[in-house]
A and B are shown apart, each in its own frame.
Chain A
Amino acid sequence: MHPALQGLITIIIGVGGCVGYFYFSNQFLDRVLYPATGKNAGRNINRANQIRPWLFLAPALLALGLYLAYPVFATLWLSVTDRNAGGAFVGLANYRQMFDEPKFWEAVSNNMLWLIIVPAFSTAFGLLAAQLTDRIKWGNIAKSLIFMPMAISFVGAAVIWKLVYDTRPAGQDQIGVLNAVWLVFDGGPMSVLILKIVPPLILVVFAGFLAYSVIQIARSLLRGGFSHSATPWWGLVLRAGLALVAVWLVWVSLRSVVSLATVSLPYGEPQTWLTIPFWNSILLMVVLVWIQTGFAMVILSAALRGVPEETIEAAVIDGANPFQIFFKIKVPQIMGTIVVVWTTITIVVLKVFDIVFAMTNGQWETQVLANYMYDKLFRANDWGVGSASAMIIMLLVTPILVWNVINARKEMR
C-alpha cells in the first residue's frame, strides 16, 4: 500500500477512533452503566461524573505512561543489566565501564562547555535583540528574521553552517565565509589589533566582571549565611555553586588570555575549522546559539514589555541613563523570565544530537553525551553503557524537572 494512502487511513482511523472512543464511552456511561433515569437517577449522575474525567484522560495517560514514564524505569533497569548475559543484573558494572572510557569524559566536558556557553550567549543575544528591536519601527520585521532559524531543522542548520565553515586548498578562492574572512588577516598591525589585542581585553573584562560577582556572592554568603535565615538553604547552595562555576570560568578565561598571547597564528593559510579541537566545539555551539537566540528574544521581549512603565519613568526623572535603566530597572524585573529562558535552552542543549551527528559525528573531540549515547546504542549495540549514559542525561535534567514541578504546584495553589 502506498504510504501516503496508509497515512490518510491512519489519520482517519486515529482521529475517528479517538473521537469515536470519547463519544461512545460517554454514551455507554450515561445510557447503560449509570442511566440518569429511574429511582437512582441522582446517584447515577454523581457516579457517572466521577468516572467521566478518567474516560477523557485514559488515552493520554496510557500514551504518556507507555512512551515517557515507563521508558525512564526501563532504561534505568537496562543500565544495570547486561544484554549479552541474557539481561542479568550486573550492578554498576556498565557505569564503571563507561567511567573508564576517555570518550565519555570528553563528551561530559564538552557538554559542560555547551551548557555554559549556549544558554549564556543565546540569552544575552536574545536580550540584546529584544531590547533593541522594541525601540524601533521596523522592529517586528527584524524580530521575525532573527526568529526564523527556529523553523529550520538542526540538520538544515548543519548544512547551512558547513557551507560557512567550508575549506578549499590554499591558492583557490575560498567558498566558506569563515575562511574568506580569515584570509583577510595577513599578520599586519590590523590583524594583531583584532586578533591579539581585542579578544584578550574582552576576556579580561569578562573575568573581572565574574570575579566581582564572586566577591559579591561570597560576601552575601558570609554575612547572610549565619546571621539570619531569610534565604532557604538551597538558595545558599545554589549561590555557592554559581560562585564555583564563576571561579572556574575566571580561571579558563585567564588561561586563554595567556595562550592567545603566546600562540602564533597561521595567517594566510585556510583552516579546516571543524577539525581543530576545542574550536570546532565552539563552532558547533555557534549553530545552536544561532537557532536559540530567536526563542530567547521572543520570550524576553514579551517580558520587557510587561515591565511597569512607572518604574522606568521614575528612573528617567531620577536622571538614569539608558544603560542604567536597562541593567538596574528592567533586567532585575524580568529575572524570573531570564531564568526560564536559560533553563529551557539548557534542556535543549542536553538533548542536542542532530547538529553534532550531522557535522562532525563526534570526531575531532566534539563528542557530546546525546551522540555518545546514540553511538553506544545503535553502532556498538551496547545497551548497558548506552542506557547508562542516557541515565546521566536524565540525572542532569532532574534538577530542572524538580524545579519546574515545584513552581507549577506553587502556581496552581
Chain B
Amino acid sequence: MNVMSSKKSPLTWAVHISVVALVALWLFPTVGLFVSSFRTADQIANTGWWNALFTQERQAPAIRISGDEAEIDGEFVIDGRLFSNDDVNISHWGTSSREPEAYVPGDVADLGDGTALTVAQDGAFRLSAPQSFGDSRLPRVFTTATMPPEFTFENYRFVLFDPSNREGMAKAFFNTLTVTIPATIIPIVIAAFAAYALAWMRFPGRSLLVAAIVGLLVVPLQLALIPLLRFHNEIGIGKGYLGVWLAHTGFGLPLAIYLLRNYMVGLPRDIIENARVDGATDFQIFVKIILPLSFPALASFAIFQFLWTWNDLLVALVFLIDATGETTVMTKQIVELLGTRGGNWEILATSAFVSIAVPLAVFFAMQRYLVRGLLAGSVK
C-alpha cells in the first residue's frame, strides 16, 4: 500500500498542475478582454493588460495646466494638482515634448517672462508670474510617474449610455434581444408537437421522417441564403425581423425535433397508455403529461437556440440588416467596430464584453441543461 501511494502522489501532482495550466491557458484570453474593458484608452495603448494590476512607471500623456489664478505678494499664482489620484510618484517631468524628462520633482522651470513652474513628487504644481495670465494658453506638463492600478467604468458608460455615441451598443443590444426571444420560443412550440408525433404516434413513414431529420441536422445553412432571401423578397417580407425569426425557426427545427423526440421516446410508456385508457385525447396527453415531463429537454434546446441566435452573425447579415442599419445586431456592430475602431481597444473590448456577458450568464446559470443537451444531441 505504501509503495502504491508514494508512486501515486507525483502523478497526482502532475495532474493538478496540468489542469491548472490548461485552465489558465483557456481563461487567459477572455480575462485579457475583461480587464481591458475596465482600463482607460491611454493605459491600454501603452501597457499590456497583464500589467494592469501592478504599479507601473510610465510616461503619462501631456497635461495642460488649468486652474484659477490668485494674487499673492504681488505675484499671480495658479496652484493645483496634475492627477486626481493621490498615490502618484513622479520621477521626472518636463515642459516640452522634446525633453519630457528635463526636471526632477522640486526643480523650478523658468518659462520666460519671469514665469516659473514647479512640480512636486505627488503631482502638486505651482505656476507663478509677475503679471496676470489673462487668456493666454497655460503650459503643458509631461510627466514620468509610477502610478497605482486604476480601473474605470467610463468605457461601459460610453458604450452603453452615451447618447452622443453613434456606435453605441444599446440599440444593438435591444435588437439582438428582439431577434433572440421569438427565435427561441417559436421553434420550441412547433418542434414539441412534431417530436410527440414522431415519438408516440403510429403512422406510415415515421422512421423515414426521423432519418430525414437526422440528415437535415448537418445541412449547411449557407445553402439556404440566396434561395430564401429571394423567397422572402417575393412574398414581401424582405429584410427584417420577421424574416430572421422565420429563418432561425427553420434552421433550429432539426436539432429541436431530434433532441425532443429522443427525450420523449424515453418517457415511461405506462403513463401514456394509462392516460389513453382513461380517455385522454392525444392533444390532452401532450399538453398535460408530455410537455411537463419534457422540461429538461425543452430547457436544453432553449439554451442552444438562445446561444446560437444571440451569437449568430451570418443569418442576421443576410436576412435582417438592411442598408439603413437601424436593425443592426451586436455581432455586426462589433465587426463594424473592428473595421473603424481597430485600434481603440477600450471601445472594442467593452463592446465585445457587453455582447458576451449575457450568454456567459446563461451559460453559468444553466450549464447542467446545456451539457445534457449536448450529450443527447450529438448523433450517436
Q: Is the CB of B175 within 8 A of A3?
A: yes
Stretch at the interface among B77-85, B105-113, B154-162, B308-316: B308-316
Which single member of B16, B257, B367 contacts A144 (CB below 8 Å)?
Answer: B367
Q: Is the CB of B217 within 8 A of A404?
A: yes
Q: Which of A121-178 contact B (CB under 8 A)?
A: 125, 128-129, 132-133, 135-136, 139, 142, 144-156, 158-164, 166, 172-177
Residue of B nearest to A77 (CB): B227
- In the complex, whether B49 has a CB less than 8 A from a CB of chain A is yes
- In the complex, whether B324 has a CB less than 8 A from a CB of chain A is no
Q: How far is the CA of A160 from the CA of B349 in the complex (A)?
A: 8
Q: How far is the CA of A147 from the CA of B201 in the complex (A)?
A: 38
Q: Which of B267-287 contact A (CB under 8 A)?
A: 281-283
Q: Is the CB of B226 within 8 A of A383?
A: yes
Stretch at the interface among A91-99, A236-244, A258-266, A353-361: A353-361
Q: Is the CB of A373 within 8 A of B222?
A: yes
Q: Is the CB of B222 within 8 A of A370?
A: yes
- In the complex, whether B152 has a CB less than 8 A from a CB of chain A is no
B contact patch SS: helix
Say yes or no: A412-B335 contact (C-beta < 8 A), given A56-B201, A60-B193, A394-B220: no
Q: Is the CB of B220 within 8 A of A351?
A: yes
Say yes or no: A132-B15 contact (C-beta < 8 A), given A145-B26, A175-B47: yes
Q: In the assembled complex, which residues on chain A have CB atoms less than 8 Å from the CB atom of B210?
A: 408, 412
Q: In the assembled complex, which residues on chain B have CB atoms less than 8 Å from the CB atom of A71?
A: 223-225, 227-228
**Closest Cβ–Cβ distance, residue B374 to chain A (whole Å):** 6
Q: Is the CB of B334 within 8 A of A155?
A: yes
- In the complex, whether B300 has a CB less than 8 A from a CB of chain A is no
- In the complex, whether B191 has a CB less than 8 A from a CB of chain A is yes
Say yes or no: A161-B29 contact (C-beta < 8 A), given A3-B174, A22-B193, A57-B209: yes
**Closest Cβ–Cβ distance, residue B166 to chain A (whole Å):** 18
Q: Is the CB of B22 within 8 A of A53?
A: no
Residue of B nearest to A354 (CB): B313
Q: How far is the CA of A334 from the CA of B303 in the complex (A)?
A: 27
Residue of B nearest to A369 (CB): B222
Q: Which of B248-280 contact A (CB under 8 A)?
A: 249-251, 253-254, 257
A contact patch SS: helix
Q: Which of B142-188 contact A (CB under 8 A)?
A: 174-175, 177-179, 181-182, 185-186
Q: In the assembled complex, which residues on chain A have CB atoms less than 8 Å from the CB atom of B352?
A: 155-156, 159-160
- In the complex, whether B371 has a CB less than 8 A from a CB of chain A is yes
Q: Is the CB of B18 within 8 A of A155?
A: no
- In the complex, whether B70 has a CB less than 8 A from a CB of chain A is no
Which single member of B222, B226, B331 contacts A153 (CB below 8 Å)?
Answer: B331
Convert B319-359 into 0s and 1s, putting 1 for each residue whose CB lies closer than 8 angstroms to a CB of A: 00000000100010011001000000100110110011001
**Closest Cβ–Cβ distance, residue A265 to chain B (whole Å):** 22
Q: How far is the CA of A159 from the CA of B343 in the complex (A)?
A: 11
Q: Is the CB of B282 within 8 A of A26?
A: yes
Q: Is the CB of B227 within 8 A of A68?
A: no
Which single member of A142, A336, A386 contacts B23 (CB below 8 Å)?
Answer: A142
**Closest Cβ–Cβ distance, residue B38 to chain A (whole Å):** 14
Q: In the assembled complex, which residues on chain A have CB atoms less than 8 Å from the CB atom of B32?
A: 160, 163-164, 177
Convert B114-136 into 0s and 1s, putting 1 for each residue whose CB lies closer than 8 angstroms to a CB of A: 00000000000000000000000
- In the complex, whether A75 has a CB less than 8 A from a CB of chain B is yes
Which single member of A78, A164, A173, A401 contacts B29 (CB below 8 Å)?
Answer: A164
Q: Is the CB of A67 within 8 A of B213?
A: no
Q: In the assembled complex, which residues on chain A have CB atoms less than 8 Å from the CB atom of B225?
A: 71, 377, 390
Q: Is the CB of B282 within 8 A of A163?
A: no
- In the complex, whether A282 has a CB less than 8 A from a CB of chain B is no
Which single member of A18, A72, A161 contacts B190 (CB below 8 Å)?
Answer: A18
Convert A296-314 into 0s and 1s, putting 1 for each residue whose CB lies closer than 8 angstroms to a CB of B: 0011001000000000000
Of the four ranges (under 10, 10 to 19, 20 to 34, 35 or more), the interface on chain B belongs to 35 or more
Residue of A nearest to B27 (CB): A145
Q: Is the CB of A10 within 8 A of B182?
A: yes
Q: In the assembled complex, which residues on chain A have CB atoms less than 8 Å from the CB atom of B177?
A: 4, 7
Stretch at the interface among B61-69, B90-98, B239-247: B239-247
Q: In the assembled complex, which residues on chain A have CB atoms less than 8 Å from the CB atom of B367?
A: 144, 147
Residue of A nearest to B197 (CB): A56
Stretch at the interface among A111-119, A190-198, A206-214, A339-347: A339-347
Interface size on A, residues (CB 8 A): 114
Q: Is the CB of B250 within 8 A of A136?
A: no
Q: Is the CB of A177 within 8 A of B349?
A: no
Q: How far is the CA of A390 from the CA of B314 in the complex (A)?
A: 14
- In the complex, whether A205 has a CB less than 8 A from a CB of chain B is no
Residue of B nearest to A22 (CB): B193
Q: Is the CB of B19 within 8 A of A139?
A: yes
Q: Is the CB of B23 within 8 A of A175?
A: no
Which single member of A22, A70, A128, A354 contacts B227 (CB below 8 Å)?
Answer: A70
Q: Is the CB of B196 within 8 A of A56?
A: yes
Q: Is the CB of B186 within 8 A of A18?
A: yes
Q: How far is the CA of A411 from the CA of B251 in the complex (A)?
A: 24
Q: How far is the CA of A54 from the CA of B220 in the complex (A)?
A: 27
Q: In the assembled complex, which residues on chain B have CB atoms less than 8 Å from the CB atom of A337?
A: 380
Residue of B nearest to A125 (CB): B22
- In the complex, whether A204 has a CB less than 8 A from a CB of chain B is no
Which single member of B254, B360, B379 contacts A152 (CB below 8 Å)?
Answer: B360
Q: Is the CB of A26 within 8 A of B281?
A: yes
Q: Which of A49-94 contact B (CB under 8 A)?
A: 49-50, 52-54, 56-57, 59-61, 63-64, 66-72, 74-75, 78
Q: How far is the CA of A71 from the CA of B186 in the complex (A)?
A: 21
Q: Which of A3, A135, A353, A400 has the most CB of B within 10 A?
A: A3
Q: Is the CB of A3 within 8 A of B222?
A: no
Q: Is the CB of B349 within 8 A of A159?
A: yes
Q: Is the CB of A354 within 8 A of B186?
A: no
Q: Is the CB of B29 within 8 A of A390?
A: no
Q: In the assembled complex, which residues on chain A have CB atoms less than 8 Å from the CB atom of B175?
A: 3
- In the complex, whether A227 has a CB less than 8 A from a CB of chain B is no
- In the complex, whether B50 has a CB less than 8 A from a CB of chain A is yes
**Closest Cβ–Cβ distance, residue B264 to chain A (whole Å):** 12
Q: How far is the CA of A136 from the CA of B351 in the complex (A)?
A: 37
Q: Which of B218, B251, B335, B355 has the most CB of A within 10 A?
A: B218
- In the complex, whether A251 has a CB less than 8 A from a CB of chain B is no
Say yes or no: A63-B249 contact (C-beta < 8 A), given A7-B178, A146-B22: yes
- Complex A-B: 13 CB contacts under 8 Å: A4-B174, A6-B178, A10-B241, A14-B189, A52-B197, A56-B194, A71-B224, A136-B15, A142-B23, A175-B47, A293-B26, A408-B211, A412-B210
Cβ-closest 10 pairs across A and B: A67-B250, A153-B311, A74-B227, A60-B194, A151-B363, A56-B197, A71-B224, A159-B352, A7-B178, A408-B214
Q: What is the interface of chain A, defined by CB distance below 8 A to chain B? A: 3-4, 6-7, 10-11, 14-15, 18-19, 22-23, 26, 30, 49-50, 52-54, 56-57, 59-61, 63-64, 66-72, 74-75, 78, 125, 128-129, 132-133, 135-136, 139, 142, 144-156, 158-164, 166, 172-177, 180, 290, 293, 295, 298-299, 302, 322, 336-337, 340-341, 344, 347, 350-351, 353-354, 357-358, 370, 373-374, 377-378, 383, 386-387, 390-391, 393-394, 397, 400-401, 404-405, 407-409, 411-412
